[in-house]
Amino acid sequence: MRVLIVGSGGREHALAWRLARGAGTAPLSDREMVVAPGNAGMARDFARWGPGRARCAPLPRGGVDGVVALARAERADLVIVGPEQPLVDGVVDALAAADILCFGPSAAAARLEGSKAFMKDVCARAGVRGAAFVATSRVDEARRFIDERVRAGLGVVVKADGLCAGKGVVVCPHAPDAVAVVEDMLGVGRAAPRFGDASRTVVVEDLLPGVELSVFALCDGHDAALFGAARDHKRLHDEDRGPNTGGMGAVGPLDQRHGVPASMLAEVKERVVLPVLAELRARGAPFRGLLFAGLMVDGGVPQVLEFNVRFGDPETEALLLALDVDLLPALVAVARGERLPPVALQSADKAAVVVLAAAGYPDDPQQGAIIEGLEQAEQVQGAQVFCAGVAEDPAGHLAVAGGRVLVVGGRGASFDDALDRAYRAVDRIRIAGAQVRRDIGRSVRAR
Ligand SMILES: Nc1ncnc2c1ncn2[C@@H]1O[C@H](COP(=O)(O)OP(=O)(O)O)[C@@H](O)[C@H]1O
Ligand SMILES: [Mg+2]
């Protein structure tokens, strides 16, 4: 079986790493992982897995058509798409039309991530709890909603409707600030909206208090199997200070000791995931793939902030590191449009991942610094290094080529163990100017 994984980062490295090994610890000979385009760090890791186990391949230009061309040329038995843009652009539909099996939602179902206004409408119809909102292209309508919140002394959040690579959300604890944000996003007084078509419409919603939680659900259109819950760390600096990032570290799976009892996951399945699947089915867009629910939990009650329609990064690296399960049969069944086979996605072991980011990330990541110490890092028992923004320089050294460079994981019987292993591995890696949060998992460490 040849599996083509589309994408270039830590998430794709982790997917290849887990899928290649089935439920065990050594890469299997009956399957080959091809990551396109992948990166030079991944390619070096793959070379150590033994012949025919995994490799990187260039991704042809042409967006969705390039993916179809490569899947054909590689005679891929299954395609898994990491990032959201090709899913929203219809890569799954194009592969299906070419008779190639692909794990992921159709463009119609991927709108759940591609349009926040669509997502809010689906949730409202399905009776799923989330922040009160208005979706509009008109400043006066947004202003009416904001004025009500100002009178009530509440904060709001302004979101561009479409995909903005994580830059389309502005949290406004002081609601009056939101009017200017709305005007800026819609492009009032300018030729075009701030994010082009992605911000012709905005969603303005209530600012919810609480702690965030990420829940992954493997969905076959009707039913779902949930992974354990994970927690990302979005801000650049310790104690949740500094600018927002793509994620500086994650821990999972969380359990009752960390405020996530099994009953909460069951509630998320019954009251969030299954109603959304039913609503999408009713709209003729059954969701087959990985549904990522971004939740805000306050007083034990989860509310939906957003959905992603693919594995999230870096939560995926943590959850896959904690798991000894062969995911491939379930992914194939979902891709075929069959019902989910029983699959145990909960694990007792814990995992933590810590991101090494380039100097200057996220605004202006500095490229080219040499990366040293990867082999020493992987000698730490239970540690695993996933490569994200890594290239090879002309002299053959691995070097920084991106914002988030490495995602360094540790697995253990407790978060204490997992975090110790991850940080011991981090401390063996040398990258000039690298930024690392030192407090990943602090809130779960002792528990
Ligand atoms: N209603 C809300 N209340 C509080 N915080 C929010 C709310 N909506 C979003 N946020 C914050 O903004 C971040 C980004 O919002 P999200 O909807 O996940 O958009 P995206 O991931 O597409 O940028 C969230 O992770 C959360 O920290
Ligand atoms: Mg998000």
- Compute, in angstroms, the gap from residue 41 CA to the centroid of ligand 2: 27
- Compute, in angstroms, the gap from residue 279 CA to the centroid of ligand 1: 23
pLDDT at residue 372, rounded to an integer: 98
* Nearest residue to 310 (alpha-carbon basis) of 84, 7, 112, 79: 84
Ligand 1 pocket test: which of 171, 214, 248, 304 has the largest number of ligand atoms within 8 Å of its C-beta? Answer: 171
Ligand nearest, relative to CA of residue 164: 1
Query: For ligand 1, atom 24, which residue shows the shortest CA distance?
Result: 305
pLDDT at residue 331, rounded to an integer: 98
pLDDT at residue 243, rounded to an integer: 93
Secondary structure (3-state) at 79: strand
Q: pLDDT tens for residues 130-177?
A: 999 999 999 999 999 999 999 999 999 999 999 998 899 999 999 999
Full-prediction pTM beyond 0.85?
yes
Q: Is 6 exposed, middle or buried (0-12, 13-18, 19+ CB in 10 A)?
A: buried
Where do runs of H (alpha helix) occur along 21-77?
A: 40-47, 64-73
- The whole-number average pLDDT for the span 179-187 is 97
Ligand nearest, relative to CA of residue 298: 1
Query: For ligand 1, atom 27, which residue shows the shortest CA distance?
Result: 212
pLDDT at residue 421, rounded to an integer: 98
Helices (H) and strands (E) in the chain, counts: 16, 24
Copy the structure tokens of residue 446: 């002792």
- Compute, in angstroms, the gap from residue 262 CA to the centroid of ligand 2: 23
What is the C-alpha separation between 184 and 427, in angstroms, rounded? 43
Query: For ligand 1, atom 19, which residue shows the shortest CA distance?
Result: 169
Give the number of residues written for the chain: 447
Q: Average per-residue pLDDT in the chain?
A: 97
Residue 447 pLDDT greater than 90, yes or no: no
- Compute, in angstroms, the gap from residue 234 CA to the centroid of ligand 2: 9
Tell how strand 235-237 and strand 211-220 pair up: unpaired
* Nearest-atom index, ligand 1, CA of 163: 22
% pLDDT > 90, the chain: 98
Query: For ligand 1, atom 15, which residue shows the shortest CA distance?
Result: 169
Ligand 1 first shell, C-beta below 6 A:
131, 157, 159, 166, 168-169, 171, 205-208, 212, 234, 294, 296, 305-306
Ligand 1 pocket test: which of 118, 181, 306, 313 has the largest number of ligand atoms within 8 Å of its C-beta? Answer: 306
Residue 355 pLDDT greater than 80, yes or no: yes
Residue 180 pLDDT greater than 80, yes or no: yes
- Compute, in angstroms, the gap from residue 14 CA to the centroid of ligand 2: 20
- Compute, in angstroms, the gap from residue 50 CA to the centroid of ligand 2: 37
- Compute, in angstroms, the gap from residue 380 CA to the centroid of ligand 1: 35
pLDDT at residue 307, rounded to an integer: 98
| DSSP state string for 192-256 | S-TTGGGGSSEEEEEPPPSEEEEEEEEEESS-EEEPPEEEE--EEEGGGEEEE-S-SEEEEEE-G
What is the C-alpha separation between 85 and 81, in angstroms, rounded? 10
pLDDT at residue 446, rounded to an integer: 80
pLDDT at residue 445, rounded to an integer: 87
Q: pLDDT tens for residues 80-110?
A: 999 999 999 999 999 999 999 999 999 999 9
Secondary structure (3-state) at 376: helix
Structure-token match 């179902």, residue found: 109
pLDDT at residue 131, rounded to an integer: 98
- The whole-number average pLDDT for the span 341-352 is 94
Ligand nearest, relative to CA of residue 306: 1
* Nearest residue to 294 (alpha-carbon basis) of 286, 284, 304, 279: 304
pLDDT at residue 297, rounded to an integer: 97
pLDDT at residue 437, rounded to an integer: 98
- Compute, in angstroms, the gap from residue 167 CA to the centroid of ligand 2: 10
Domains within the chain, CATH numbers bracketed: 2-107 (3.40.50.20), 132-206 (3.30.1490.20)
Buried b (16+ CB within 10 A) or exposed e, 412-446: beebbbbbbbbbbbbebbebeebbbbeebbebbbe
Q: pLDDT tens for residues 374-397?
A: 999 999 999 999 999 999 999 999
Query: For ligand 1, atom 6, which residue shows the shortest CA distance?
Result: 207
What is the C-alpha separation between 84 and 222, in angstroms, rounded? 22
CB 198 within 8 A of CB 187: no
The answer to whether the bond into 329 is cis (omega within 30° of 0) is: no
Ligand nearest, relative to CA of residue 305: 1
CB 112 within 8 A of CB 309: yes
Beta-bridged to residue 80, according to DSSP, are: 5, 103
Please state the φ and ψ torsions of residue 140, each to the nearest 5 degrees. -65, -35
